[in-house]
Amino acid sequence: MRDGRKKEKRLRGFTLIEMMVSVGVFALMTVFLSVAFSSGFASFGKLRELQRNIESAQYSMNTLAKLLRTSTVVSGATSNAQSIRFYDYSSGRCFEYRISGSVLQARMKSIASAANCDTSSMSGWFDVTSSTASLSGRFDVTPSDNGTKKMGKVTIFLSIQKGASAAMRSDLQTSVSLRDYQYVGK
């Protein structure tokens, strides 16, 4: 009979203290895992938003580059310019682009020639990029020169940053050679 009591005592199960310790350990692991998943999802959301801002800036930069290929630069012929004004021969319009605040903005007017491309009577500014991040940049212009038959070029730099973290930053750059009709064939 003594052997039966020992066997019965061994098969009883866990004590209340053992159950409380195991539930506490499980709760701590659950808290750590939920914090890890929530920070992972938050980072994914920020990266997705930054990717949308980059795509918007790339589209705007490509559109601007397409316009510049058939244009004469009227102003902004310096390094580190925050704006550029040019006359597009293919559409017969004067454009002005600027980096203002955290967006790329543009305005335009239809005119007959590059000589009349000034800021008077231009329509109001409209946002070209839709950015929820900080956008900065510049235009570097090498103007065309008829004396040396040198065609100009424009380099566009844009930097998009989400928050203060350098890890959430993307730099974009494109260079455009001008097919400056003002100087072609001269």
Confidence category of residue 186, pLDDT binned at 50, 70, 90: very low
Percent of the chain with pLDDT over 70: 83
pTM of the model: 0.71
Whose structure tokens read 């454009």? 95
| pLDDT reported for residue 5 | 58
- Would you state the pLDDT for residue 25? 96
Higher pLDDT, 12 or 25: 25
Q: For 48, what's the count of Cα atoms within 13 Å in the CB-facing half-sphere? A: 6
pLDDT at residue 160 in the model: 86
Mean pLDDT of 103-127: 83
pLDDT at 131: 65
For the stretch 57-76, pLDDT in tens is 889 899 999 988 888 888 76
Tokens for 17?
A: 């203290």
Q: Is 138 left (phi over 0), alpha (psi -120 to 50) or beta?
A: beta
Nearest CA to 50 among 170, 136, 137?
170
Strands (E), the chain: 71-75, 83-88, 93-100, 103-110, 126-127, 134-142, 153-161, 169-177
Residue extents of the structural domains in the chain: 31-177
Per-residue confidence band for 146, with pLDDT thresholds at 50, 70 and 90: low
Q: Pick the residue with more confidence: 182 or 103?
A: 103
